[in-house]
Amino acid sequence: GENVEQHPSTLSVQEGDSAVIKCTYSDSASNYFPWYKQELGKRPQLIIDIRSNVGEKKDQRIAVTLNKTAKHFSLHITETQPEDSAVYFCAAKDGAVGFKTIFGAGTRLFVKA
């Protein structure tokens, strides 16, 4: 089955700097890669996703890139703000058939004002 590795586990940046979180996946048949933001004590919320037929997707200060050959994908947050502080999870849909989504272990992002 699918396995998702996420790095780093903790990331601290200065307000205004960029933050990059990287994930790798194992199943070459996976074709959907969502990213979730989870604030303390709250539910995970989808912030951006990408499908395997696209190499990059951007939504304001957030972008995601996908390298299918290397089986890795990354989240980029530019002009970080204190409210970006949260745990971010990458995920991959397990295979081309079925809809089990496998999550990474998470990255705790601290944005220092």
Partner 1 sequence: GAGVSQTPSNKVTEKGKYVELRCDPISGHTALYWYRQSLGQGPEFLIYFQGTGAADDSGLPNDRFFAVRPEGSVSTLKIQRTERGDSAMYLCASSLIVGGEAFFGQGTRLTVV
- Contacting residues toward partner 1, per CB under 8 A: 1, 4, 6, 32, 34, 36, 42-46, 49, 89, 91, 93-94, 98-106
Give the number of C-alpha atoms closer than 13 A to the C-alpha of residue 18, restricted to the C-beta side. 9
Closest contact distance (angstroms) between CB of 29 and partner 1 is 14
What's the closest the beta carbon of residue 5 comes to partner 1, in angstroms?
Answer: 11
| Least distance to partner 1, CB of residue 8, Å | 14
Strand runs (DSSP E) across the chain, as ranges?
4-7, 10-14, 19-25, 32-38, 45-51, 56-59, 62-67, 72-77, 86-93, 101-103, 107-112
* Residue closer to partner 1 (CB basis): 80 or 93: 93
Q: How far is the C-alpha of 72 from the C-alpha of 12, rounded, in Å?
A: 22
Say which amino acid occupies 82.
P
- Of the two residues 80 and 107, which places its CB atom closer to partner 1 in the complex? 107
Closer to partner 1 by CB, 17 or 39: give it.
39
Q: What is the nearest approach in angstroms of partner 1 to the Cβ of residue 79?
A: 25
Between residues 43 and 69, which has the closer beta carbon with respect to partner 1? 43
Contacts of 10 (CB under 8 A, 6+ apart): 107, 108, 110
